[in-house]
């Protein structure tokens, strides 16, 4: 099967993010590790940068860094869009940071073992 998806890596990241349940969030490193590319944690975020142009849409707003900071909020067009979406999902966000990050944290490996 002709691998038309050269974004094998990207697609995988999208697949994980799309499995994130509503009201939950995860970290780039966790996703990267779930993919087996823990070393390319940066690539996870890089992939998300293109998440706004792929289909189906990827809830990138549910993906934050290790500190729970909405580092990529700027990728949503508005610096408050990401926080707004999270708040809409039930995730409290203050100062561009996820509140109780560890409580709403979702483990991507959980989807793999589904």
Q: Which residues of 74-91 are buried (b: 16+ CB within 10 A; e: fewer)?
A: ebbeeeeebbebbeebeb
| Binding pattern for the stretch 26-65 against DNA, x by CB under 7 A and - elsewhere | -xxxx-x----x-xxxxxxxxxxxxxx-------xx-xxx
Binding of residue 96 to DNA (CB under 7 A): no
Binding of residue 72 to DNA (CB under 7 A): yes
Of residues 44 and 91, the one with the C-beta less far from DNA: 44
Residues lying near DNA in the complex (CB under 7 A) are found at 6-10, 27-30, 32, 37, 39-52, 60-61, 63-67, 70-73, 75-76, 82
């Amino acid at each position: 099967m002709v691998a038309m998806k050269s974004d094998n890596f990207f697609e995988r990241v999208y697949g994980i993010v799309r499995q994130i349940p509503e009201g939950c969030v995860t970290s780039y490193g966790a996703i990267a590790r779930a993919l087996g590319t823990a070393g390319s944690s940066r690539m996870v975020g890089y992939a998300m940068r293109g998440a706004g142009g792929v289909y189906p849409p990827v809830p990138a707003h549910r993906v934050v860094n290790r500190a729970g900071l909405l580092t990529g909020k700027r990728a949503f067009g508005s610096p408050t869009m990401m926080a707004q979406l999270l708040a809409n999902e039930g995730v409290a966000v203050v100062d561009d940071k996820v509140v109780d990050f560890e409580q709403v944290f979702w483990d991507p490996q959980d989807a793999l073992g589904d």
